[in-house]
Structure 1
Amino acid sequence: MSRKRKFDEQQEGEVDMTPMLDIVFILLIFFIVTTSFVREEGLLVNKPKANKAQKSDSPIILVRISSTGLITFNGKSVDIERLAARIESFTAKSPTTSAVVIPSYETTHENVVKVIDEIKQFEDIIVSIGK
């Protein structure tokens, strides 16, 4: 009787993992096939062509953004709220069609987008991003 008991205990401990692995792989395939990938919209940036550089006599609006969020407009410090007014007064004195935004490496994307949005209020100004 003791021999039969050892044999029964040994068989009770074995579990076949193959069906469970099959189910896991089927679920994995199901989720991969049914997943829909969403393409995220980004910010459109106009990059100038290097080989077609044209020399223009019109002045350029130069906006720099420091790592702390300090904005300078043609070398003078300005708040984000007053940037549009500065651009408007600058274009009234000397018409221009281009603006260059030069962010610092540590600048947050939020600050860069805010500055570009302020410049984009003027439809005739083309915005470029520099280093």
Structure 2
Amino acid sequence: MIDIRKSLRGKYQEEEINVMPLVDMVFLLLIFFMVTTSFVKEAGIDVHRPTAATAQLKDKGNILLGVSADGRIFFEKKAIDLRSVRAHIERSLAESPEGAVVIVADQKSDTGVIVRVMDQCRLAGARRVSIAATRPGAKG
């Protein structure tokens, strides 16, 4: 409550709300969510994956390569040449040494292109190279 006598004499000071702790807390939460968020990298194309009854979910440190039905190769939403696959995979493995390479190929893509992409991945030093598939009855 305002003291009238103090305000008339000029000794009254207005109360202030200190918002700095609130700002500090918001920044701490922002940093926390930025650090704990995992970013999903996509191959860059929409494909119709083949189905496989033994398909397994792999969710840790995947490096994705896309192969379209017409044989084009995509890495991080960019079309790349077969000759540059090895360099891209080497760079990605340097950033994430435990990463597994997953080739997301269209079911109508040429097997020869997929084999050459797998070969380039292995030459780049990838120990785990697999092809993405969906389980029968699953959407995707």
Q: TM-score range by the shorter chain?
A: 0.5 to 0.7
8 A Cα contact 1:61 1:74, kept in partner: no
Q: Indicate the larger mover: 107-116 or 85-94.
A: 85-94
1:105 lines up with 2:98 in the alignment: no
Matching residue of 1:11:
none
Matching residue of 1:10:
none
- CA-to-partner distance for each residue in 1:69-102, whole Å, 9 max, x for gaps? 1101132221100000011111122323311111
> Identity percentage over the alignment?
26
Secondary structure of 2:74's counterpart equals: strand
Q: CA RMSD in A?
A: 2.4
- How has the CA–CA distance of structure 1 residues 49 and 121 changed in structure 2, closer, same or farther, with 3 Å as cutoff? same
1:55 CA displacement: 5.3
- How has the CA–CA distance of structure 1 residues 55 and 70 changed in structure 2, closer, same or farther, with 3 Å as cutoff? closer
Instruction: Tell me, in whole angstroms, the C-alpha distance in 1 between the residues paired with 2:84 and 2:115.
Output: 16
- How has the CA–CA distance of structure 1 residues 60 and 108 changed in structure 2, closer, same or farther, with 3 Å as cutoff? same
Higher Cα Rg: structure 1 or 2?
A: 1
Matching residue of 2:94:
92
| Residue-pair matches, total | 81
Please report the TM-score for the alignment, with normalisation by the length of structure 2.
0.50
Instruction: Tell me, in whole angstroms, the C-alpha distance in 2 between the residues paired with 1:96 and 1:76.
Output: 23
- Consecutive unaligned residues in structure 1, runs of 5 or more: 1-47
- Consecutive unaligned residues in structure 2, runs of 5 or more: 1-53, 134-140
Please report the TM-score for the alignment, with normalisation by the length of structure 1.
0.53
